[in-house]
Amino acid sequence: MNNSYFRTIAGSAMAFIIIVFGSYVIAAQSATTGNWRASTKEKQPGELHISFERKSEKYGKNSHGSFFSYDDLRGLTPEQTKNGRVRFSIVREAGTLDCEGSFTDGVGTGTFQFNANESFVQGMRSRGFEFNDERLFSATTLNLTLAFADNLLSANFGKLDTDDLFKALIFKITPEFMAEMKATGFPNLGMEELVKARIFKIDAKYVREIKDMGFGVTDFENLVKYRIFKVTPEFLAEMKDEGLTDIDPEDVVKLRIFKIDAAYVRQARAEDPNISVEKIVQKKIGAWSRN
């Protein structure tokens, strides 16, 4: 099994990151007006889903949607989303979205105007982060705050850029999460690795449990592969019980790819106590012979 397959999967993960992150970034352009659409049919308790669409000569038409708490929709109540004219605002540190339009049977449409908050721009600049119109709109819809930036900077994580702020906010990467991951023996993880950790649900508990099994995981990318192919501490314990105590991470992944369980390993080792993982894999796919 070569690494191109793994690179394809990891690349797909990063493409997902770019798509998710990019959907917010490109949604905001230099224009300050656009259209909104909302629906009560997309339900999340106490929240309303609103999509914003903007046009610009540079990027064309761009849109994205988010759920907003009614507490954040000034001037709009759940009752008003049934029918009738509405005017409401989303006021955040980065700027304000003033919206107007109407609802019919729980579906709303209208126009909005966005006004950036210059004090937010200056505050972020003083912390080393630059915000153009694109990022300001995104910061408003996502509710990026100066306090969030300060909290992230307090982690002494190293050099962070503006894109890192958005990634940390979208994927819930906190100073606590950073510290926990560093403490597991991976002190040099960058934002890209931390985003992967969130996407593939790699937390400190999982890392410790995997490393405690003694299979020599020293590369974070091995953990990503483990999560992709559902390598659990329980699976590793079963392999150890069957005598596979000194196998590298790539071989562990092969066992999962070819659905080789403890019973199959036990049978293979009964026939040949010194059989290697590679031979077990070949046996599983019908390509192994003793010659």
* Average pLDDT of the residues in 70-98: 97
Q: What is residue 64's predicted lDDT score, i.e. its pLDDT? A: 81
Which of 8-12, 111-115, 250-254 has the least mean pLDDT? 8-12
Instruction: Return the ∠ at Cα 159 (arms to 202 and 25), rounded to 5°.
Output: 75
Higher pLDDT, 30 or 197: 197
Cα separation, 224 vs 259, in Å, equals 18
Band (pLDDT 50/70/90 cuts) for residue 13 is low
What does pLDDT average to over the chain? 87
**What are the helix (H) ranges across the chain?**
3-25, 118-126, 133-142, 146-153, 162-170, 175-182, 191-199, 204-212, 220-228, 233-241, 249-257, 262-271, 277-284
Over 70: is that where the pLDDT of 6 sits?
no
Highest-scoring range by mean pLDDT, 30-34, 38-42, 73-77, 181-185 = 73-77
Band (pLDDT 50/70/90 cuts) for residue 16 is very low
Band (pLDDT 50/70/90 cuts) for residue 44 is confident
Q: What is residue 53's predicted lDDT score, i.e. its pLDDT? A: 94
Band (pLDDT 50/70/90 cuts) for residue 34 is very high
Q: What is residue 165's predicted lDDT score, i.e. its pLDDT? A: 97
Question: Where do the structural domains in the chain lie, given as residue ranges?
Answer: 3-170, 204-284
* Element at 51 (helix H, strand E): strand 47-56
The residue written with tokens 């770019």 in the block is 18
Cα separation, 188 vs 227, in Å, equals 20
Which of 53-62, 93-102, 113-122, 147-156 has the least mean pLDDT? 53-62
